[in-house]
Chain A
Amino acid sequence: MNYQTIDEANQAVISKIVAGSPFLLDVVPANTVIKEFNEGKVLLHAGPPITYDKMVDPIQGACIGAVLFEGWAENETDARKLLESGEVTLMPCHHVNAVGPMGGITSGNMAVLVVENRTDGNVAYCTMNEGIGAVLRFGAYSDEVVTRLHWMRNVLCPVLSKALKTKESGLNINVMIAKSIAMGDEFHQRNIAASLVFLKEMAPSIVALEIDQKEKEEVIKFLADTDQFFLNIMMAAAKAVMDGARMIQEGTVVTAMCRNGYEFGIRIAGMGDEWFTGPVNTPQGLYFSGFTEEDAAPDMGDSAITETFGVGGMAMIAAPAVTRFVGSGGFQDALNTSNEMKEICIDQNPNFTVPTWDFQGICLGIDAAKVVETGITPVINTGIANKKAGLGQIGAGTVHPPIDCFEKAVLAYAKKLGFNE
């Protein structure tokens, strides 16, 4: 270990998080930047490693959608057969510098955002937000879904890519986060301010492009309609920053949280790439009319990387508009939540201050040791998928990781440093 104490190591990790400077550089087909896609049929998924048979229905549905999108099969039945045959290699997004929302299913020809962390030169990827309703990330795989993915690949991706190239050094994401947090976003449940800020940055470049007018209109309309577009940018940015911080392989700071509908997985700095897992919980929240908790799929998605970075549920107080998702709902609940989250974090990030929190910075550095000590687990704001594939999102709410993964991580790290039970 390069540090005198765990405290010092943790301070080094959180300094890296504060120093992180993510820039959105490009949007490209995934197989042009993730080499693993070029070795047979490969799909990425959210969360720690999992096999197809253990995937919950909506994630299997997303796999089917991806197989149809890639043209590996003509119909649902063949797609299922192919997936069951084991011919398709499944690997976590996290293992190839990527993150994926909900099911997180990503295939080689899907468009991904490219975010670079300038501080450490590392890069992270994430698919673009598809909008709401029947979408792949919530397990829908109808023609409409596949068609939209093709449009995103063939129109949205090249247009945004060209527009981004007109910027000298890409888009500075920290600036957009800092602006939007003051406008009531917490970047997991609510991204409307940041999505508009993004549109504001991009629109002049897009309209100036020498491309088909119809494409311009379609792209601008899509961005204007997609309130959660920034969520995926936030995810890639958080992944880039946390991977930068993870280069310091010491200490108890949590560097990733993710779930695959079956297991919740975390990483801590001192244990490098190792996952510590426990069974996922089912989110609590509000449901669209006609749905109840009975219909909810268990917790899924890499989007908890936002909480790992300190936004989302950790910054609940920043977004009074979504506090109703907390439970009984209300400003006081949001305040209590963020105050409680402070207890398991090492510090607060001075780059992103929250006006409704008396300009305190967002939570910085979830400390697995503090989680274990207090029994307080991070709050994650999340969408809720229908437990049946193909039906999409049915609500939104909050969910907690199982304490087991933090306990396992802390114990493993203590043992690594010489602790005997």
Chain B
Amino acid sequence: MLTTIIKNNSYQDSIVLMLLTNKINTVEGVNNVSIMMGTPANKDIFKTGGLYTPELEKASANDMAVVLDVKDESVVPNVMEEIDVFLEEQSKGMDNSDAQESVRTWDKAISLSKDAPVALISIPGTHAPLEIEKALDEGKHVFCFSDNVSIEDEKRLKLKAHEKGLLLMGPDCGTGIINGIPLAFTNVVRKGAIGIVGASGTGIQEVSTIIHKLGGGVTNAIGTGGRDLKEEIGGITLMDGIVTLENDPDTDVIVVISKPPAPAVREKVLALLRKITKPAVTIFLGEKPTYHEENLYHAYTLEETARIAVQLLNNEAVSVEEQAIELPEVAFSSDQKYIKGYYSGGTLANEAAMLIKEGLELTGSADKKEGFILKDAGYEIIDLGDDIYTQGKPHPMIDPDKRIEMIEQAADDSETAIILLDIVLGYGAHIDMATELAPAIKKAQDKAKETNKQLVFIGAIVGTDEDPQDIKKQKTILEEAGVIVADSNNQAVRMALKLVSISLDEVEKTIQTVEAPAFEEELIPSEQMMDMLRTKTFLNIGLRSFSDAIREMGGTSIQFDWRPAAGGNVTLQKALYFLKNYTNENN
């Protein structure tokens, strides 16, 4: 039986509502529930989820809509109370920031954020381009967490930013560190002298946490968004980021992380890296480099990238270190041979797929259907952060459900030998993912035992000892559940391969000189870019938890509780725009 509850004028962010949905789903007597703001797009999702009711028609973009599928009506008051308690607790969390005035308009945001050179934007993607533009017009750099921005908008806005001497990090930029302050989904990493520019979120997280483990630290991690190195965009943010770090007196080593760039962009980026004075490391994930250059090193894995960066930082010779991988005793049955990986980090999934392909000499390419990065000859690597899994649902870094489902399915497959997992810690990630996954892992192993098999779980934790989750405890919980915890994703995958008798060796690369056209432009960063590296004050437009993370790390955040203008009504938005820009020509 479907029941609809509309809470008028109660705007909540989608992440908040997803967490709330998870909570309500566990209430006794609730078969299914969906809680979303009443936007036209969300109403369609209600329809596809089979939870559409005529009452939803009345809900506007500023109304919170709850549709419950319940056994009987009597649970509804209980559910309502749970919702109220959840939302109230959230607002209690705001009490810490009592001194902070609420900000709901750009006018006020601007007047309060004069000292904030960077705007963090985490709002629905359809609204993001306009808000990015407003922030750029105000002379602010933008860190745009929002996705679903068209590539045309991205190009136009990045060109605009570049011309104004500003950086547009993103859209779809998941991770950043500016002057030691974490932005969005980020680990707490020691401050140090390594600067990172990267087109991948979990790539930056893996590299920066390994740098931390190796004793190094990070000055800045400038995210660019995943499309920056495409032909259309031309690496605008990546190159401005490199120039900025080159001129940053606190940065001694520069790391560049990306998927393979478009060829023309690649040449330009490499030419720039050859021109800068600071030593640099690149990783174009998926490419296997065979040589280094003078002062410019090329890595194959994220771990290698971090290691080279720390070696450069310590003025040590760049060399391959033999990773002694301790192998556990395993007793696979004869039909158990396949490795499967269920990843919450897309870049980590890519790295795993890359290594397995190399080890097994697989050539088939997955068409990324259903998040498969690798699906070949029984080997599977899935990125559970793929859009297909996150539409209307929380990201697997926050929500364990999909992975639990996948683990259960894999356990039913008698040919599965090893399951790879990543546990991402840091701001934005689930506060205790290990505990969430442990029961499913144990259950899967027990099930295997019943048929005289052994199912091996190998996990990699992306995190540092300063992350809010308590990395030691996460490791203990996983190990108690029977997971072998490797030091990095690279090592987890290599261990898995070794267990099925495949060795991947790192080869020492020689330094070669590359004949290529020189980079001709001057390397002068704008004043605003240099100012950005010194700031601890940010304007946060959207997710409140990003403000909390900034404040916890000693920064200042002006929290702009953004809502779609005019309740998302396009006609009214146009009328407002018309009035704002109206000039009387007869006067």
The interface of chain A, by Cβ under 8 A from chain B, is 1-6, 252, 332, 336, 339-340, 342-343, 369-370, 372-376, 403, 407, 410-411, 413-415, 417, 419, 421
**Which 5 A-B pairs give the minimum distances between C-beta atoms?**
A414-B575, A419-B578, A373-B565, A1-B584, A374-B104
B574 touches A373 (CB 8 A): no
Q: A4-B584, A375-B62 are in contact. Are A369 and B579 (CB under 8 A)?
A: yes
CB-CB under 8 A from B574, the residues of chain A are 419, 421
CB-CB under 8 A from B587, the residues of chain A are 1-4
Chain B residue at smallest Cβ distance from A340: B102
CB-CB under 8 A from B89, the residues of chain A are none
Q: A373-B565, A403-B567, A417-B582 are in contact. Are A343 and B575 (CB under 8 A)?
A: no
Q: What are 13 A-B residue pairs whose CB atoms fall within 8 Å in the complex?
A: A1-B584, A4-B584, A6-B579, A340-B102, A369-B576, A372-B576, A373-B576, A374-B105, A375-B566, A407-B566, A411-B572, A419-B575, A419-B579
A421 to B569, CA, bound (A): 12
Whether B148 sits at the interface, judged by CB under 8 Å, is no
User: A6-B582, A343-B107 provided; 7 other pairs, C-beta below 8 A?
Assistant: A1-B587, A372-B566, A374-B104, A375-B62, A407-B569, A410-B576, A413-B579
B584 touches A3 (CB 8 A): yes
Q: How large is the interface on B (under 10, 10 to 19, 20 to 34, 35 or more residues)?
A: 20 to 34
A5 touches B582 (CB 8 A): yes
Chain B residue at smallest Cβ distance from A376: B104
Interface residues of B in 546-587 (CB under 8 A from A): 563, 565-567, 569, 571-572, 574-576, 578-580, 582-584, 586-587
Chain B residue at smallest Cβ distance from A7: B580
Chain A residue at smallest Cβ distance from B98: A332
Whether B101 sits at the interface, judged by CB under 8 Å, is yes
A332 to B94, CA, bound (A): 12
CB-CB under 8 A from A419, the residues of chain B are 574-575, 578-579
A421 touches B571 (CB 8 A): yes
Chain B residue at smallest Cβ distance from A250: B584
A221 to B574, CA, bound (A): 57
Whether B534 sits at the interface, judged by CB under 8 Å, is no
CB-CB under 8 A from A411, the residues of chain B are 571-572, 575
Chain B residue at smallest Cβ distance from A336: B102
B576 touches A375 (CB 8 A): no
CB-CB under 8 A from B569, the residues of chain A are 407
| From B563, B579, B586, contact of A374 by CB (8 A) | B563
B579 touches A252 (CB 8 A): yes
Whether B443 sits at the interface, judged by CB under 8 Å, is no
| Nearest CB on B from A420, distance (A) | 9
A419 to B576, CA, bound (A): 10
A340 touches B584 (CB 8 A): no
A410 touches B579 (CB 8 A): yes
Chain A residue at smallest Cβ distance from B565: A373
Whether B288 sits at the interface, judged by CB under 8 Å, is no
CB-CB under 8 A from A376, the residues of chain B are 104
Q: A4-B583, A417-B579 are in contact. Are A343 and B98 (CB under 8 A)?
A: no
A1 to B104, CA, bound (A): 30
The interface of chain B, by Cβ under 8 A from chain A, is 9, 11, 62, 98, 101-105, 107-108, 563, 565-567, 569, 571-572, 574-576, 578-580, 582-584, 586-587
| Nearest CB on B from A233, distance (A) | 33
| Nearest CB on A from B458, distance (A) | 50
| Nearest CB on B from A346, distance (A) | 10
CB-CB under 8 A from A3, the residues of chain B are 584, 587
CB-CB under 8 A from B102, the residues of chain A are 336, 339-340, 343
Q: A3-B584, A6-B582, A417-B579 are in contact. Are A343 and B105 (CB under 8 A)?
A: yes
A374 to B569, CA, bound (A): 12
CB-CB under 8 A from B104, the residues of chain A are 340, 343, 374, 376
CB-CB under 8 A from B583, the residues of chain A are 4-5
CB-CB under 8 A from B566, the residues of chain A are 372-373, 375, 407
Q: A374-B105, A375-B9, A376-B104 are in contact. Are A414 and B578 (CB under 8 A)?
A: yes
CB-CB under 8 A from A403, the residues of chain B are 567
CB-CB under 8 A from A414, the residues of chain B are 575-576, 578-579
B580 touches A6 (CB 8 A): yes
CB-CB under 8 A from A375, the residues of chain B are 9, 11, 62, 563, 566-567
Chain A residue at smallest Cβ distance from B581: A5
| Nearest CB on A from B102, distance (A) | 6
| Nearest CB on B from A252, distance (A) | 7
A138 to B565, CA, bound (A): 38
A415 to B579, CA, bound (A): 10
B575 touches A410 (CB 8 A): yes
Q: A252-B579, A376-B104, A419-B578 are in contact. Are A410 and B584 (CB under 8 A)?
A: no
CB-CB under 8 A from A252, the residues of chain B are 579
Chain A residue at smallest Cβ distance from B570: A421
CB-CB under 8 A from A372, the residues of chain B are 566, 572, 576
CB-CB under 8 A from A415, the residues of chain B are 575
Chain A residue at smallest Cβ distance from B586: A1
A372 to B60, CA, bound (A): 14
| Nearest CB on B from A399, distance (A) | 13
Most buried by B among A3, A370, A419: A419
A66 to B102, CA, bound (A): 46
A344 to B567, CA, bound (A): 15
Most buried by B among A4, A6, A342, A373: A373
| Nearest CB on A from B425, distance (A) | 35
B584 touches A407 (CB 8 A): no
| Nearest CB on A from B426, distance (A) | 32
Q: A1-B587, A372-B566, A375-B9 are in contact. Are A343 and B108 (CB under 8 A)?
A: yes
| Nearest CB on B from A271, distance (A) | 13
CB-CB under 8 A from A373, the residues of chain B are 105, 565-566, 576
A2 to B98, CA, bound (A): 43
Q: A375-B9, A375-B62, A403-B567 are in contact. Are A5 and B105 (CB under 8 A)?
A: no
Chain B residue at smallest Cβ distance from A342: B108
CB-CB under 8 A from B107, the residues of chain A are 343
Most buried by B among A370, A407, A411: A411
CB-CB under 8 A from A369, the residues of chain B are 576, 579-580
CB-CB under 8 A from A421, the residues of chain B are 571, 574
| Nearest CB on A from B417, distance (A) | 55
| Nearest CB on A from B85, distance (A) | 15
